[in-house]
Amino acid sequence: MTLTGKKGLVLGVANKRSLAWAIAKRASEAGADLALTFQGERLEENVRELAGTLARESQILPCDVAADDQLDALFAKIRETMGRLDFVVHGAAFAPREALSAPFSQTTREAFRMALDISAYSLVALARGAQPLMTEGGSLLTLTYLGAERVLPNYNVMGVAKAALECSVRYLASDLGPQNIRVNAISAGPVKTLAAAGISGFSDILGVYRDRAPLRRNTEAGEVGDTGVFLISDAARGITGEVLYVDGGYHVMGM
């Protein structure tokens, strides 16, 4: 699969374990020109260092997806430097740590608002910003989890946010399809990343997948990266509104 000549924006790289990084790495190897974002100065150095290891030169821009002015500035900069966009990878998600350990019924209004805003609404905001730049069609890709459909211990309000995210994928696919902009999600199996570490009991979930997934092993970030490149590429030109599972088949099991 080639992404030669394609220009992409990747949000959600925190470190080398990030799923967004796995997609960025593979996309760069496949020939794409990338802009990567970081949230807050704390992560800038990290992202710059990682970007230096990509197969092709990339640009690094700030973006907190909860801030409309930062989103506006991001797309203005991309218009200026890249001229157009072919794909956006949305790998940002957040819920306050206490909401990922206390009983779901204890979720506060503010935790609910933040989780939904950062993890779901941000895709809608990104789609709106990217649309005028996707002059030759395009592809939006986000990352979700089985917790959108089934109850997993402590996933709580993030499950509600992922349900909203997956539904947003379908509505956006319908809205943007006439402009040949595709919108899809990868539902990844659990991978030990910074965000995952915030979920209480995450290691137990990893063990259950290893024991029960048809492939009898945990998902590797590189598998998500490869599927990401597929969904972004023209090889997936007929696919939109889809949630594609990269979880070793765990989601098909009843027990």
Per CB under 6 A, 39 contacts ligand NAP: yes
**Contact flag: residue 227 with ligand NAP (CB under 6 A):** no
Judged by beta carbon, residue 94 or residue 250, the one nearer ligand NAP is: 94
Nearer Cβ to ligand NAP, position 17 or 210? 17
| CA distance from start to end of the chain | 35
User: Could you say whether residue 218 binds ligand NAP (CB under 6 A)?
Assistant: no
Considering only 29, 44, 64, 149, the residue that binds ligand NAP (CB under 6 A) is 64
What is the smallest separation between the CB atom of 63 and ligand NAP, expressed in angstroms?
Answer: 6
Among the residue ranges 26-34, 71-79, 87-95, 104-112, the one whose residues contact ligand NAP (CB under 6 A): 87-95
The correct pick among 24, 51, 88, 118 for binding ligand NAP (CB under 6 A) is 118
Pair of tokens at residue 134: 């996707």
Q: Is 245 a catalytic residue?
A: no
Site string for ligand NAP, 5-24 (x = CB under 6 A): ------xxxx--xxxx----
Asked about 209 being catalytic, the answer comes back as: no
Tell me which residues in 160-189 interact with ligand NAP (CB under 6 A): 188
Measured from the CB of residue 38, what is the shortest distance to ligand NAP in angstroms?
7
Which residues of the chain form contacts with ligand NAP (CB under 6 A)?
A: 11-14, 17-20, 39-40, 43, 63-66, 91-94, 118, 143-145, 188, 190-191, 193-196
Active site residues: 145, 155
